Structure 1
Amino acid sequence: MDPMSRPNASSLQKTPGVKTEKEKTPVDKKKEKKTSSEIEREQEKERAEKKIEDQRRENKEQQARDLPRFKVGEGENEITTSKDTYELISCLGQGSFGCVFSCVRQSDKKSFAIKCESVHARKPMLPHEANVLLALNLLKSPHFVEMIDNGQIAGRFQFVVIRLVGQNLWDVRVEMKEKRFTLATSLMIGIQTLAGLRDLHRKEQSRKDDIESWWYMLTEFIVFDIPWKKIRGTDRDGVRAAKWRLRGDGAYMKMLFHKCCYQQMHTILLYLDSLQYGNIPDYDFIYHQVTAAASVHKAELEAAPDWDQKAKRYGGPEYKERVAYIVKELE
């Protein structure tokens, strides 16, 4: 055999990254068979996706530049409106499109919160929120955050100044020792949120749906569970089936409320299911069911809430019965 025809060691070595015919999978072979038009379409799709991603990143960077460049003791520390000047004190929270600061009104040194949102936000929410808060201000209800001021820094961000409040109920509950409220606090929350919904419904609709959602919230606070807790949010059929299960022969409802409040919570749900969409709920009737639950189970509604044990008793607004439903100045 001619020595020159023998394969040497280097010619037998595998080229890095290149598969042999035996190593190729059906997917690899399918890719090799792609036509030039298919390859071009894929490349066009990749370019389009990259363009969208670049635009998204550019928008986020733009929105970050729009918001107040705040640093303690330096940077943009004041926002001025036609009414007053607000000194930024600390950043309470920040996201892709907005941020919230604690601030002090210079005219009287009172503390507030100021919410800012970039004017380049893809789906601006703050203008709508400002309109809702302005309408709710007319109700003079103690259950809503009061809007103090609002405005815009041209080309950069919009803002609203609101009363400074604490954490939301979910975060407060999670920080509890056993991640739950006592029955007294749960029922007190139920009464206060019911009163808030009643006041809201003097201006807004969706009364029946809102009160039903309120019932589910109160259920979770009382029994620390909800029938569809482990069902994916996208599984609408599963959630619907769980809701119907609550309304079955009563066995599941009794099991859910086996420790307390079955009679009152069952009565409220039956009443809500009897309403038509346009009906005005009897809020006082629902209120009396909640207070009856407190009485039966000796839950002191005037006790200090779980998150404020330094207080001697609950000091928030009381539920007012027989409140006139139609507010003429809002019509």
Structure 2
Amino acid sequence: MNTPPPPRPSVRRTRLATLVSALCLLVSGCSAFGVADDGPDTAGGPDGGMRVTLVTHGGEGDAFWDLVRRGAEAAAAKDGVDLTYVSDADPAAQADLMRKAVRDKADGIAVTLAKPAAMRGPVAQAKAAGIPVVGLNSGIDAWRPTGLLEYFGQDESVAGRAVGDKLDDLNAEHALCVVHERGNVALEARCAGVRKTFRGATDNLYVDGSDMNAVTAAIAARLRRDSSIDEVVTLGAQYGLSAVKAVRQTGSRAEVATFDLDKDLVKAIQGGEVQFAVDQQPYLQGYLAVDALWLYRTNGNVSGGGTAPVLTGPAFVTRSNVSAVARFAAAGTR
């Protein structure tokens, strides 16, 4: 689990009793938006500032989640929020982290729903305690049934279908979709989306995403067994680079495409080793999740009206447009 960052400076906040009462009249009751009517009217930080906990399913040292965390930290610094970042890839452990945030009386919680069933109980506990909860990154089909206030992320099914269309445009015939976490709803939706629109064949390959050498070996083994595979689609930037290694090792004719982006993947696109990446803007997801909780607490704002997600992707990054994002990737924000 990543070590939470040191507390950010806090700012004095105005009491919200009058604002909350007025807001409730406008929206016919705050409980409809996931906050108890008798919820706290002030934030609970040591200096009166707001305390937010971001609970993700990201693995330790994962470059993608570093981007999410940096975005969240940037919003926290801007808003004077005391941010705690915690994560665990195990759904039961992630649920325990959220329960701890409830016990610690956080003023707001942002959470990913990679395994939605595991998070329903903790979300209900947060709502009962009057703590607003927003979702990000995973669970676009589950955030409303789970009772979250808002959601920030990519529609993974739409993104997958867009990739399938792009593979058709590239005249691919046989795609291998590499899933690095079995049962993750977002990852499964990506591959299902590819299969839905791609006119060629699509096979899934399940790998252990915590062992990059094993990922490379598994992709290489499949490429050796099936020479008809002409496209490897991975679901994370680092796995795209593993696929590049596997193609090199085997001498396969397969091209590589991936979801997600980081500075090393940008270089691979610039060098022609990766055809394209689907950018869901993880930095933006972290930023918006924290900022949304601050806006809700201080001004009663609800993005999407509490009924529609705020989409941060998909956008295709190819060799023709990669220069536009390269400097941001080098700075660690794309």
Q: TM-score range by the shorter chain?
A: under 0.3
